[in-house]
Amino acid sequence: MKIAGIIAEYNPFHNGHAWQIEKTKDPQGACGATHVVAVMSGNFTQRGEAAVLPKQDRVRAALAGGVDLVVELPLPYALSSAEGFAFGAVSLLHGLGCVEVLSFGSECGAVEPLQKAADAMESDAFRTLLHYRLSQGITYAEAVQKALAEALSPAAAQLLDSPNNLLGIAYLQAIRRIGAPIRAFTVPRTGPAHDAPVPAGIFASAGYLRRILRQGRPQNAYPYLPPACVPVWEQALRDGRAPADEARLDLAVLAKLRTMTPQQAAALPGVSEGLENRLIAAARKAGTMDELTEQLKTRRYPLSRIRRLLWAAFLDVPAGWEKTPPPYLHVLGANERGREILSAARHGALPQITRAGKADTLGPAAAQLFALESRADDLYALMLPRPLPCGTLYTNAWIDG
Determine contact, residues 7/72, Cβ cutoff 8 Å. no
Same domain, 297 and 379: no
Q: Are residues 209 and 301 in the same domain?
A: no
**Which residue, of 272, 297, 319, is where some domain finishes?**
319
Assess if residue 255 is contained within a domain.
Answer: yes
Whether 197 and 53 map to the same domain: the answer is: yes
Assess if residue 119 is contained within a domain. no
C-alpha 301/C-alpha 169 separation (Å) is 21
Whether 197 maps to a domain, the answer reads yes
Say what the pLDDT of residue 302 is.
84
Report if residue 71 sits inside a domain: yes
If one counts every other C-beta atom within 10 angstroms of the C-beta of residue 193, the result is: 13
Same domain, 313 and 209: no
pTM of the model: 0.96
Each residue's pLDDT expressed in tens, for the chain with a length of 401 residues? 999 999 999 999 999 999 999 999 999 999 999 999 999 999 999 999 999 999 999 999 999 999 999 999 999 999 999 999 999 999 999 999 999 999 999 999 999 999 999 999 999 999 999 999 988 878 888 999 999 999 999 999 999 999 999 999 999 999 999 999 999 999 998 877 777 788 889 999 999 999 999 999 999 999 999 999 999 999 999 999 999 999 999 999 999 999 999 999 999 998 887 889 999 999 999 999 999 999 998 777 888 999 999 999 999 999 999 999 999 999 999 999 999 999 999 888 899 998 888 888 999 999 999 999 999 999 999 999 999 999 999 888 788 87
Count of domains forming the chain: 2
109 contacts: CB under 8 Å, gap ≥ 6: 186, 187, 188, 189
Residue 163 CB partners (closer than 8 Å, separation 6+) = 194
Q: What is residue 273's predicted lDDT score, i.e. its pLDDT?
A: 78
How would you classify residue 125: left for phi > 0, otherwise alpha for psi between -120 and 50, otherwise beta? alpha
Domain range for 9: 3-107+185-244+324-400
**Angstrom distance (rounded) from CA 185 to CA 174:** 15
Strands 183-188 and 101-106: parallel
User: 302 and 336 in one domain?
Assistant: no
Contact assessment for residue 315 and residue 375, using Cβ atoms and an 8 Å cutoff: yes
